[in-house]
Chain A
Amino acid sequence: MSLGPEASITDESTAPTADAAERPGEKAIAGRSLKQIAWRRLKKDKVAIAGACVVIFLILVAVLAPLLIKWFGHPFDEPHIDQLDPTLSTPLGKLGGISREFLLGVEPQSGRDIFSRIIYGAQTTLSVAFLSAFVSTILGTVFGLMAGFLGGWVDSVISRIMDFLLAFPQLLFAIALLSVLPDTFFGLGDRWSRVFVLVGVIGFFGWPYIGRIVRGQTLSLREREFVEASRSLGARSGRILFRELLPNLAAPILVYTTLIIPTNILTEAALSFLGVGIPPPNPSWGGMLSDAVTFYQIDPMYMIIPGGVIFITVLAFNLFGDGLRDALDPKAR
């Protein structure tokens, strides 16, 4: 093929010749990576995109919480007794006191602004969920890769540890641990100290789920001929791990990370519900549900709002994660 020097440099823009792409739909595009193909497929999945929008919206809300509270709400621990019925201590007005002033109503008994508490709680909940997912992913990837790639006794030891952790009653352990730990340390304040502990506990008990998947994938990838080819070129183990194996593991790792985030949200809510999560008066969605239990007959909105928010959040993450898995699954191509 005779080509001028400038033609061989601009390889992205030149049209591929007939011997290039057999599939007619892809003829016009030069060098589409699997990432680009996945993105195209994800864009077509309306449900996943809706989930992603909700997730992004929630993240924005959590980041902008102080501003939103200033504009649309009241400080989260400020009581508004004037909004409550003086004899029953229930909110005045319909639907738990929803009004222009109090967008999601007020709490019975204390009269705190539910809107502020929900978005302030979003901050804690999402921090715990994301950070613990991050911890699980890092631990799971490192140990899963080690087990799958090194094999032998390393694999046996790591696999047994994973089995042990999966069989461990993690909720009971978390309750026991959180009730004996001091309320504050490292000068973080009681809210972030507890977030730190929750991240540690949830993240630590979550890694075997990712670890198993990474181990299994590594075991099958290790036998592929491109790994042998790399070895026959004289590549070191580090190069094989990070250049050959890890890029092929990125898709499952990403998918399972997005799928453990909703689980983590639920675990955090459960722990807060049981009274060992974020300490009051700091709001958290699980803690609000727990407080609402006493009032659900006289003020159902107090329970419906945090419950609904947890439901929507978990659903959005799950839909997005499922869509991502479909988009990245090379077998469905």
Chain B
Amino acid sequence: MSENLLEVSGLQKHFPITKGLFKRQVGAVRAVDGIDLEVRAGETLGLVGESGCGKSTAGRLFTRILEPTGGKVVFEGNDISHKNVNQLRPLRRDVQMIFQDPYSSLNPRHTVGAIISAPLQIQDIPTPQGLKKAVQELLELVGLNPEHYNRYPHEFSGGQRQRIGIARALALRPKLIVADEPVSALDVSIQAQVVNLLDDLQREFDLTYVFIAHDLSVVRHISDRVAVMYLGKVVEIAERDDLYKNPRHPYTVALMSAVPVPDPARRDRAQRDRVLLTGDVPSPINPPSGCRFRTRCWKAQDICATEEPPLTVRLEDPQSHLTACHFPVVDDETVAGRRPAATPA
């Protein structure tokens, strides 16, 4: 097994809620509340979960755009959890980010040339072939016309803008790229192009990706391992095929069953296996005690409310398959038509 590039342990990010004239803290949004995982060099780790589960916050903690409230972020053996802006600057060369919204991630007042050369200028990276040539090489690398050097972002389509964002992230030749829903804002035909581009670049430059998404089929296509998040915590993490074939956590099962089946012949079966969750995701300001999924889980019992299940190997899973559930779903368990029992929060 290859070495770990990034390790996070007990990672927390709480956003304070303040009230009144003196900004008294009255609570906190626990966006990320204790996640442990490692990213191996050269792999793609998919991070999935529904809106508001803390995926993007987690990505911003990995790249240290945000400072964690608790826990550690260790990159290549260095603890970077609480380094300041100046101490982080050398790290920026190795860790880059691709953003979700291609319409707000590029400054509308800068030319494409200025946007892509910014990382080289900020990091003082020498360009023997000249800055302009370097930018044009990057443009070509991501499949854009190098002549569009002097154009402005508003002159490009969403997919092309996302390619500009990728070129900017690549400029520093990083080791790790955290891609925060890089294709969610694009339409399906463009999604495939961008995902394939990311795939090609990974092979060419030995990149490691943390790929944040809510689209399970995209994640399945690109990831080696997948981590499933629910309400600020990782509930299950496994090799891709293992996770998609044998989901253990009831939440993962429900999430998988929500993927639309494009084949009408198979649709009937899919319909029967469909797990319908009721209710909403509980508020991250005041998450449920014990297991966070218990309020919507059909297998919940008393122990789920009192004891938080640790993220460990369950049943006869391989060493790499970790699940945080007291009652993991067994292989042939029929879950169809199951409704969560109404448990008081």
Point out residues on A near B: beta carbons under 8 Å. 1, 3, 7-8, 11-12, 14, 16-17, 19-22, 26, 30-34, 224-226, 228-236, 239, 243-244, 247-248, 250, 330
Q: Tell me the complex Cα distance, A108–B290, Å.
A: 92
In this complex, which of A21, A30, A226 has the most chain B Cβ atoms within 10 angstroms of its Cβ? A226
- Enumerate chain B residues within 8 angstroms of A225, measured Cβ to Cβ: 99-101, 104-105
Q: A3 to B107, Cβ gap below 8 A? A: no
Q: Min CB distance, B37 to chain A, in Å? A: 20
State whether A230 and B145 are in contact (beta carbons under 8 Å apart), knowing that A34-B154, A248-B108 are contacts in the complex: no
The CA-CA distance from A232 to B65 in the complex, in Å, is 6
B325 contacts partner chain A, Cβ-Cβ < 8 Å: no
B111 pairs with A31, CB closer than 8 A: yes
The 29 sampled A-B contact pairs (Cβ below 8 Å) are A1-B145, A8-B136, A8-B146, A11-B149, A12-B150, A16-B147, A20-B145, A30-B148, A32-B152, A32-B155, A33-B111, A33-B152, A225-B101, A225-B104, A226-B105, A226-B107, A228-B99, A228-B105, A229-B165, A229-B168, A230-B122, A232-B63, A232-B65, A232-B92, A233-B96, A233-B119, A233-B168, A244-B107, A247-B109
Q: Is the CB of B122 within 8 A of A3?
A: no
Which residues of B sit under 8 angstroms from A244, Cβ to Cβ?
Answer: 107
- Distance to closest chain A CB from B116 (angstroms): 11
- Bound-state CA distance A229–B97 (Å) is 7
Q: Are A17 and B145 interface neighbours, CB within 8 A?
A: yes
CB contact between A226 and one of B104, B140, B146, B156 (< 8 Å): that residue: B104
Q: Is the CB of A239 within 8 A of B104?
A: no
A30 to B107, CA, bound (A): 18
The answer on a CB contact under 8 Å between B147 and A8 is yes
Contact B145 A19 (CB under 8 A): yes
Q: In residues 83-110 of chain B, which contact A (Cβ within 8 Å)?
A: 85, 88-89, 92, 96-97, 99-101, 104-110
Residues of A with C-beta under 8 A to B345: none
Q: Provide the bound-state CA to CA distance between A226 and B92, in Å.
A: 16
B269 proximal to A (CB < 8 A): no
User: Contacts of B99 on A, CB cut-off 8 Å?
Assistant: 225, 228-229
Residues of A within 8 A of B145 (CB): 1, 16-17, 19-20
Contact assessment for A234 and B123 in the assembled complex, using a CB-CB cutoff below 8 Å: yes
B146 to A30, Cβ gap below 8 A?
Answer: no
Cα separation A191 to B6 with both chains bound (whole Å): 70
CB distance from A40 to the nearest CB of B (A): 14
Q: Which one of A1, A26, A232, A248 lies within 8 Å of B96 (CB-CB)?
A: A232
B92 touches A14 (CB 8 A): no
- Please indicate the chain B residues that have their CB under 8 angstroms from the CB of A248 in the complex: 107-109
Tell yes or no: B301 within 8 A of A by CB. no
| Chain B interface residue bracket vs A | 35 or more
CB–CB B150/A20 < 8 A: no
Compute how far the CA of A229 lies from the CA of B107 in the bound complex, rounded to whole angstroms.
10
Q: Which of A20, A26, A235 contacts B122 (CB 8 A)?
A: A235
Contacts of A21 in B (CB 8 A): 155
Contacts of B105 in A (CB 8 A): 224-226, 228-229
Contacts of B221 in A (CB 8 A): none
Q: Assess whether B101 is in contact with A233, with CB atoms less than 8 Å apart.
A: no
Partner of A34 from the list B123, B152, B165 (CB cut-off 8 Å) is B152
Tell me whether B89 and A14 are in contact (CB under 8 A): no
Q: Is B151 among interface residues, defined by CB-CB distance under 8 A?
A: yes
- List the B side residues contacting A224 at CB < 8 Å: 104-105
Partner of A233, one of B106, B123, B147, B156: B123
Report the minimum CB–CB distance from A61 to chain B (whole Å). Answer: 35
Residues from chain B with a CB closer than 8 A to the CB of A34 are: 108-109, 152, 154
Residues of B60-82 at the interface with A, using a CB-CB cut-off of 8 Å, are 60, 63, 65
User: B315 interface residue, CB < 8 Å from A?
Assistant: no
User: When chains A and B are docked, how far (Å) is the Cα of A220 from the Cα of B105?
Assistant: 14
- Which A residue sits closest to B21, measured CB to CB? A156
B303 within 8 A of A: no
Please report the C-alpha to C-alpha distance between residue A236 and residue B118 in the assembled complex, in whole angstroms. 12
Task: Decide: A233 and B122 in contact? CB cutoff 8 A.
Answer: yes
Q: Determine which residue in B88, B89, B147 has the highest number of CB atoms from chain A within 10 A of its CB, and name it.
A: B147
Q: How far is the CB of A156 from chain B (nearest CB, A)?
A: 8
Q: Which residues of chain B are near A17, meaning CB under 8 Å?
A: 145
Set of chain B residues within 8 Å of A7, measured between Cβ atoms = 147
The reply to whether B118 and A230 contact each other, CB–CB distance below 8 Å, is yes
